[in-house]
Amino acid sequence: MKNMKIFGLTGTNAAGKGEAAKYLQKKGFSYFSLSDVLREEMAVLGIEPTRDNLIKFGNGMRKKFGPNALAIKVKPKLKSKSIVDSIRNVSEIKELRKIPGFKLIAVDAPIEVRFERAVKRNRIGDAVTLKDFIKKEKKEYSSNPTSQQLLKCMKEADIRIINGTSLADLHKNIKKSLKI
């Protein structure tokens, strides 16, 4: 695993992590998502992959198998020039930092912008009011070691990107920040 270039993505809901990942994929990076690990497990069990179910199931896996369980599951798949999306627990970061060349990117945007984006993308289980959006988001701010620790993860970031304007600006910021 020498000379690896692996970027992890963390950040708030609808901040643009998915768009950042798409941009990096266009630059030749392979994409992996900790949420996809959950979706695969949930599909086998017949559990609908709503946001609330993903949070509950992920927290359950962390409690049962350890807070770094999702990172452990994805690590063998990683190769040089990889992106790991949906990092939501500090233990996942610690596990991925064992890989030489790993850097964590936090993507954020103003809450009103993120809520508007979430409404537009219309995912199952997303909030329909700003008040509900804020309430759901607070569930991801736990300090419990087996839960989502989004704010703690963002504080661990090597690179922070604010994505409050356009997609073109996001791409410029990524290119500049990552020197790619």
Q: What is the pTM of this model?
A: 0.89
From the number of C-beta atoms within 10 Å of its C-beta (0-12, 13-18, 19+), residue 159 rates as middle
Asked if residue 179 belongs to a domain, the reply is no
- Report pLDDT for 57: 95
Number of domains in the chain: 1
pLDDT tens-digit map of 54-113: 989 999 999 999 999 999 999 999 998 999 999 999 999 999 999 998 999 999 999 999
Asked if residue 90 belongs to a domain, the reply is yes
From the number of C-beta atoms within 10 Å of its C-beta (0-12, 13-18, 19+), residue 22 rates as middle
Q: Which domain holds residue 49?
A: 6-172
Asked if residue 70 belongs to a domain, the reply is yes
pLDDT tens-digit map of 116-163: 999 998 887 778 899 999 998 888 888 888 888 999 999 999 999 999
CATH code where residue 92 lies: 3.40.50.300
Q: Does residue 2 carry a pLDDT above 60?
A: no
- Report pLDDT for 156: 97
Give the DSSP letter of residue 30. E
- Report pLDDT for 3: 63
